[in-house]
Copies of this chain bind each other. A is one copy, B any other.
């Protein structure tokens, strides 16, 4: 059987399909399906949603919010978190300049969203928190269905972050779920449309709550060194790998690392529950995403109890600081930076242990060095006072 491709949105050809479904039949009911619809009402008015379900894993994708992954499910378990922002927010309702440039947070509830592309990190130097990409809609969206037993469903979106006299970067993102697989893959290509070299800052803000996160849950990260971002993170350096249950008033703690990988650069991170029999892992390549931030945000449930696993091209400091450290990528005119990201779920202790062991095996022959304080070269809080 051959694949079929559906164009759901293409502004350049005036194509827009308001509602869509395709099913892959299996021996007992559908093997997989993909649905598209548009939310109406509230701050979700006009937000397109694409659901992809391979029978095990289900993903809600948001073309209107930069091809972010709103939420997921694996065999009935929720993937993602419970943000205090309950529903997908149309970018028209997000004013990035609110509250001194952190208005981005009024629209933030995704399981996975991107920060960038020209800049990410805190507001400053004319930029707002985490850049534009999460609030830009895809102008072209296609779905490819390969109905063969070892096939899958892919959704590709094209998002332009452009301006006259500004960054002109195009994200072409493809999400793929193979039939019956317990993992998804993202292939993101960022192309510089401009005639000048372009900065690129790209961070994957990936959040998890229960049942993966809970008191006693842990991350496994093959990091030679872990650096607290600031004094608040330094307080908890000894327990950086382990998570608390929900704590009213907990102030976020962020740790930076540059994970080790295989000779080819393959690396990853694992989050598993306290019992070690349920996990979720990310995999990526250190040549594509050399940096990683661990966002510990174990606030009260009502306030958005979660952990963020954030592979990135850079640390989420101000771009000017990252530039001084050589961590701002440059994309040549017409050039493309490609990122491949995998997310997999482990539902048995043996699977969790195997993934943890594989990741620990990437460490360079000695245990992780956990810094007690912010470090120069990593974070502005680690620089000597002037």
Chain A residues within CB distance 8 Å of chain B: 9-12, 14-16, 37, 39-46, 83-87, 91-93, 95-100, 102, 105-106, 108-109, 126-128, 136-141, 160, 162-166, 168, 193-196, 246, 248-249, 299-304, 333-334
Contacts and interface: CB of A to CB of B under 8 A. Distances in A.
Nearest to A128: B98
Contacts of A85: 160, 162-164
B196 A249 contact: yes
Given A85-B164, A162-B85, A162-B86, A138 B42 contact: yes
B37 A14 contact: yes
A87 B11 CA distance: 8
Contacts of A302: 168, 193-195, 333-334
Contacts of A83: 164
Nearest to A39: B11
A117 to B, nearest CB: 13
A42 B163 contact: no
A303 B195 CA distance: 6
A86 B194 contact: no
A84 B333 CA distance: 13
Contacts of A45: 46, 137
B106 A9 contact: no
A46 B105 CA distance: 24
Contact of A301 (B46, B87, B164, B195): B195
A219 B160 CA distance: 34
A352 to B, nearest CB: 29
Given A39-B11, A40-B16, A248-B195, A106 B166 contact: yes
B84 A137 contact: no
A92 B95 contact: no
A159 to B, nearest CB: 8
Contact of A163 (B39, B44, B105): B105
26 contacts: A9-B40, A11-B44, A14-B37, A16-B41, A42-B137, A43-B136, A43-B137, A43-B139, A46-B46, A84-B168, A84-B194, A91-B93, A93-B136, A95-B97, A96-B98, A97-B97, A97-B98, A164-B303, A164-B304, A194-B302, A195-B248, A195-B300, A195-B301, A196-B300, A248-B333, A302-B333
A91 B196 CA distance: 27
A262 B140 CA distance: 51
Nearest to A43: B137
Q: Which of A16, A42, A87, A136 has the most CB of B within 10 A?
A: A42
Contacts of A137: 41-43, 45, 93
A83 B40 CA distance: 29
Nearest to A89: B162
B42 A9 contact: yes
A91 to B, nearest CB: 6
Contacts of A41: 9-11, 15-16, 137-141
A129 to B, nearest CB: 10
A96 B14 CA distance: 27
Nearest to A37: B14
A83 B162 CA distance: 10
Contacts of A99: 126-127, 163, 166
B93 A95 contact: no
Given A12-B87, A163-B85, A166-B105, A95 B96 contact: yes
